[in-house]
């Protein structure tokens, strides 16, 4: 039944449709389905005992203040901890550089609200994180794109896209969602330099940076930008806004992320956040702080790396064994995802329907492309399944691909 | 230092300024300041022991699922509980009528995102909740207004404002923020009828409805609308979106609210919420559910009513004793606020500066008026101070008003 509200949607949201893929993937809640679909960390690795102890400390030390309204910018001890943590990586930030957000997704929404005029172009990787496209489409953003290869964004595409006059560049340098690739050091430096030359700021999204399984940590864009500009002192005020989150290193059900940026931008984002949800849950902030302090989080991240590396290896080995010739995939050095390409004649959306009959799920590639291309691609999450389930699930998926290849041949 | 980001703010947020009042009120964090400023419930009444027990139950029963991603619409048991609770008040809603939000403030933001085109008019009470104005100004809303008196929105103003073609009406029928007044039953019925005749939907914001200290509960607009339309069956699909929250009846630091609306609108708001923060904290939702179930919340609300009624009475008595002639104020039957009018020659913003020297704080009236009028008004919160602090604070404030009246005479 149409209601009075339903014929009054704003122009910006009239195009919103419930995603067909999202509807299909609702069945992944059934336990017999092996799901490589969500971007979920492994629930079996959540530190439940540490959360129990932390809750007792929060209630003991903060009492009612943990349940009361608090400041929009976030709890001071948590912001200080994040500033210290960030400062380990070669730039010196203060709490005035830090805003706490209700997950990184809120940071993407606030960036859209504060910066995007209808018709503004954002330069994104192709493919890129679909949640960013979703957040910014409601602000009527348009997109310039740079293809990615195994070393991340291609510099030739980047140079061309900069000439289109983007409002900002959106980059996921580490173990990118969805493709799992990492931007090389040379390209990071080129990106920082090119952005500066074109006078374009950079949004760096880094949910997975701590989850590296092979090779050495590469400097973040915010660090390279500070070095490039000679910003040695405390209080970063450069060209990059940096986003990260507790979702992948601790627990996504908290909904807790943060922004690092120039103080004037942090203030403006905080003003927008005040209208969006007043502040992030006080209790959640204090809980994460109590879990993370005293070095626990560093130890926990080391444990995650070991477990997730084994799951990634299991997935790559199973793919090599089960997938028919003609399917290719990335070998991520970290993060949560393997990205696979079917032969271009095959449609991953059709494969998903077939795979769900075999009780295995993934996300087809097209929602990660602003232009809806990438229909032969698929994103596979390896962090939320055991090695055994990964082996079973990839075998099922291999059979489903085999059936489709056979019928289309 | 201006950064590359700082010269790229979107048009909609270029006017955002840090509020002068907000800056002034930062001193209310000092313990010697008696603050009637924030819309804070009494932290001394938060049920800490119940939260401890509830956390143990959440961890015991849900374990890792309490820390994992969950659905955008919200946790099913919580939505079911809210649907049952709403159905006590004369309409039968199902979980498809319920969306969980990150506080009611997020619901206001999502309504703005989904419904407001730049230049659309929203019909609001004058004065009205400043957080709604803040949320909708970023979507470039304009305002039609209806004055309020002791019975709430004036019907003559409402009729005139409807002729201006509002996108929707925003009403706070119970113990309104900031003015503390309650919309009479006759006017509720008139509002529902007029809105229907003009084809305009209603947004009903009801954070305080449970906190009534005198008189009988009045039916909500959503209930009256269902009756008016003869919607007797399950699954409300009428003209009203209804908002409420756990902030005032349980704890605002959770950031947990809900929307009741027609299923198609709930779906569209959920799509917008997905881009805004994916979902509200799983842990917080389960925690509130565990605290609220088994009748605890009903008992707790009865306890709040008794304590808050005593604080309201103490404030009204102290005002009668300490405030100079020429100051008038409302006598709220519930909620959190008394609303006072200084003689029209006095400016509450100047009074605030003076009062802060005496270590007492309130919120001046003008931010609650879309046109910035109401400079002689002030909002006084009585729920977050003890009776003794209320008496002390009102005496200080009375002296500050007296000084100003004297110097302006």
The pair of structure tokens assigned to A80 is 């200080």
Please tell me the distance from the alpha carbon of residue B80 to that of residue B78, in angstroms, as a whole number. Answer: 5
Domain architecture of chain B: domains with CATH = 17-47+298-408 (3.90.1150.10), 49-294 (3.40.640.10)
Reported as a single tens digit per residue, the pLDDT across B199-219 is 999 999 999 999 999 999 999
**Which residues of chain A are within 8 Å of residue B167 when distances are taken between CB atoms?**
8
Q: How far, CA to CA in Å, does A226 sit from each of A230, A265, A282, A368, B109?
A: 6, 16, 32, 30, 35
**Which residues of chain B are within 8 Å of residue A109 when distances are taken between CB atoms?**
275-277
| pLDDT category of residue A90 using cuts at 50, 70 and 90 | confident
Cβ separation of B251 and A68 shorter than 8 Å? yes
Q: Does A26 touch chain B (CB under 8 A)?
A: no
- With CA atoms as reference, the chain B residue closest to A167 would be B8
Helix axes A296-322, A282-292, angle to 10 degrees: 90
Please tell me the distance from the alpha carbon of residue B212 to that of residue B267, in angstroms, as a whole number. Answer: 32
Residue B94 and residue B235 in contact, taking contact as beta carbons nearer than 8 Å: yes
Helix (H, G, I), strand (E, B) or coil at B393: helix
Bond into B2 cis (ω within 30): no
Q: Does A27 touch chain B (CB under 8 A)?
A: no
Q: What pLDDT sits at residue A409?
A: 46
Q: Does A205 touch chain B (CB under 8 A)?
A: no
Q: What pLDDT sits at residue A30?
A: 85
Size of interface A-B (CB pairs under 8 A): 268
Long-range contacts of A212-218, Cβ-Cβ distance < 8 Å, separation of 24 or more: A212/A174, A212/A175, A212/A305, A212/A333, A212/A334, A213/A305, A213/A308, A213/A309, A213/A312, A213/A332, A213/A333, A213/A334, A214/A309, A214/A333, A214/A334, A215/A333, A218/A173, A218/A174, A218/A182, A218/A183, A218/A184, A218/A185, A218/A188
Q: Which of B46, B276, B307, B385 to probe the A interface (max A CBs under 10 A)? A: B276
Q: What pLDDT sits at residue B408?
A: 55
Q: Does A51 touch chain B (CB under 8 A)?
A: yes
Kindly give, in sequence order, each residue whose CB lies less than 8 Å from that of residue A76, ignoring residues fewer than 6 positions away.
A95
Q: Does B31 touch chain A (CB under 8 A)?
A: no
* Residue bearing the bigger pLDDT, A295 or B126: B126
Q: What mean pLDDT is predicted for residues A63-79? A: 96
| pLDDT category of residue B367 using cuts at 50, 70 and 90 | very high
Q: What mean pLDDT is predicted for residues A337-343? A: 98
Q: How many residues does chain B have?
A: 409
Q: What pLDDT sits at residue B407?
A: 66
For A103, the closest of B59, B261, B278 (CB atoms) is B278
Distance in Å, alpha carbon of A130 to nearest chain B alpha carbon: 10
pLDDT over 90 (residue A67):
yes
**Which residues of chain B are within 8 Å of residue A253 when distances are taken between CB atoms?**
65-70, 281-283
Cβ separation of A277 and B262 shorter than 8 Å? no
Q: Which of A255, A300, A363, A367 to probe the B interface (max B CBs under 10 A)? A: A255
Q: Does B69 touch chain A (CB under 8 A)?
A: yes
Helix (H, G, I), strand (E, B) or coil at A307: helix
Residue B344 and residue B376 in contact, taking contact as beta carbons nearer than 8 Å: yes
pLDDT over 60 (residue A264):
yes
Q: What pLDDT sits at residue A407?
A: 66
Q: Does B409 touch chain A (CB under 8 A)?
A: no
Give the whole-number percent of chain B exceeding pLDDT 90: 87
Q: What pLDDT sits at residue A16?
A: 74
Q: What mean pLDDT is predicted for residues B234-244? A: 94
Reported as a single tens digit per residue, the pLDDT across B143-184 is 999 999 999 999 999 999 999 999 999 999 999 999 999 999
Q: Does A164 touch chain B (CB under 8 A)?
A: no
Cβ separation of B261 and A5 shorter than 8 Å? yes
Cβ separation of B277 and A117 shorter than 8 Å? no
Q: Does B105 touch chain A (CB under 8 A)?
A: yes
Q: Does B244 touch chain A (CB under 8 A)?
A: no
pTM equals 0.96
Q: Does A14 touch chain B (CB under 8 A)?
A: no
Q: What mean pLDDT is predicted for residues A343-370? A: 95
Q: Which of B22, B142, B281, B304 to probe the A interface (max A CBs under 10 A)? A: B281
Q: What pLDDT sits at residue A17?
A: 67
Buried b (16+ CB within 10 A) or exposed e, B250-276: bbbbbbbbbbbbbbbbbbbbbbbbbbb
pLDDT over 50 (residue A220):
yes
Cβ separation of B276 and A51 shorter than 8 Å? no
Kindly give, in sequence order, each residue whose CB lies less than 8 Å from that of residue A303, ignoring residues fewer than 6 positions away.
A45
**Which residues of chain B are within 8 Å of residue A200 when distances are taken between CB atoms?**
4
Rg (CA), chain A: 21
Kindly give, in sequence order, each residue whose CB lies less than 8 Å from that of residue A285, ignoring residues fewer than 6 positions away.
A70, A74, A75, A78, A100, A256
Q: Which residues 327-386 in chain B show a CB within 8 A of chain A?
A: none
For A16, the closest of B102, B109, B268 (CB atoms) is B268
Distance in Å, alpha carbon of A56 to nearest chain B alpha carbon: 8
Residue A227 and residue A266 in contact, taking contact as beta carbons nearer than 8 Å: no
Phi and psi at A340, nearest 5°, equal: -120, 145
**Which residues of chain A are within 8 Å of residue B265 when distances are taken between CB atoms?**
3, 5-6
Q: What mean pLDDT is predicted for residues A173-194? A: 98
Q: What pLDDT sits at residue B409?
A: 45
**Which residues of chain B are within 8 Å of residue A257 when distances are taken between CB atoms?**
none
Q: Does B21 touch chain A (CB under 8 A)?
A: no
For B277, the closest of A48, A102, A168 (CB atoms) is A102
Please tell me the distance from the alpha carbon of residue B378 to that of residue B188, in angstroms, as a whole number. Answer: 26
Buried b (16+ CB within 10 A) or exposed e, A43-73: bebbbbebbeebbeebbeebebbbbbbbbbb
Helix (H, G, I), strand (E, B) or coil at A57: helix
Cβ separation of A43 and B64 shorter than 8 Å? yes
Helix (H, G, I), strand (E, B) or coil at B153: strand
Q: Does A274 touch chain B (CB under 8 A)?
A: yes
pLDDT over 70 (residue A336):
yes
Q: Does B168 touch chain A (CB under 8 A)?
A: yes
Reading across the β-sheet that carries B121-126, which strands appear in turn?
B98-101, B257-260, B240-245, B202-205, B168-171, B121-126, B142-149, B152-153
* Residue bearing the bigger pLDDT, B25 or B176: B176
């Amino acid at each position: 039944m149409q209601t009075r509200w339903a014929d009054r949607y704003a122009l910006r949201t009239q195009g919103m449709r419930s995603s067909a893929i999202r509807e299909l993937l609702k069945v992944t809640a059934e336990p017999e389905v092996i799901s490589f679909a969500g971007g979920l960390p492994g629930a079996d690795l959540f530190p439940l005992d540490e959360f129990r102890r932390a809750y007792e400390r929060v209630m003991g030390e903060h009492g009612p203040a943990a349940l009361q309204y608090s400041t929009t910018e976030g709890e001071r001890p948590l912001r200080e901890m994040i500033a210290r943590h960030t400062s380990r990586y070669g730039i010196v930030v203060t709490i005035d550089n830090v805003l706490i957000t209700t997950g990184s997704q809120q940071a993407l929404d606030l960036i859209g609200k504060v910066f995007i005029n209808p018709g503004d172009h954002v330069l994104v990787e192709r493919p890129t994180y679909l949640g960013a496209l979703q957040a910014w489409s409601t602000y009527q953003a348009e997109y310039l794109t740079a293809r990615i290869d195994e070393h991340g964004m291609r510099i030739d595409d980047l140079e061309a896209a900069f000439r289109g006059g983007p409002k900002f560049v959106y980059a996921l340098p580490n173990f990118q969602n969805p493709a799992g690739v990492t931007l090389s050091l040379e390209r990071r430096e080129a990106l920082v330099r090119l952005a500066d030359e074109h006078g374009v700021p950079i949004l760096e999204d880094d949910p997975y940076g701590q989850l590296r399984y092979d090779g050495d940590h590469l400097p973040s864009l915010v660090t390279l930008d500070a070095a490039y500009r000679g910003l040695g002192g405390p209080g970063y005020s450069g060209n990059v806004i940096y986003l990260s989150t507790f979702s992948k290193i601790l627990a996504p059900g908290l909904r807790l992320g943060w922004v690092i940026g120039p103080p004037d931008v942090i203030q403006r984002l905080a003003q927008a956040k005040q209208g969006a949800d007043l502040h992030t849950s006080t209790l959640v902030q204090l809980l994460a702080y109590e879990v993370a302090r005293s070095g626990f989080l560093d130890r926990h991240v080391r444990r995650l790396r070991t477990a997730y590396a084994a799951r990634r290896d299991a997935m790559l080995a199973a793919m090599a064994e089960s997938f028919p010739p003609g399917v290719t995939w990335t070998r991520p050095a970290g993060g949560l995802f393997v990205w696979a390409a079917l032969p271009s004649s095959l449609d991953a959306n059709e494969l998903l329907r077939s795979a769900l009959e075999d009780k295995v799920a993934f996300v087809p590639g097209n929602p990660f492309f602003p232009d809806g291309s990438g229909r032969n691609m698929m994103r596979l999450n390896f962090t939320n399944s055991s090695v055994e389930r990964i082996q079973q699930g990839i075998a099922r998926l291999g059979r489903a691909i085999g059936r489709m290849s056979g019928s289309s041949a």
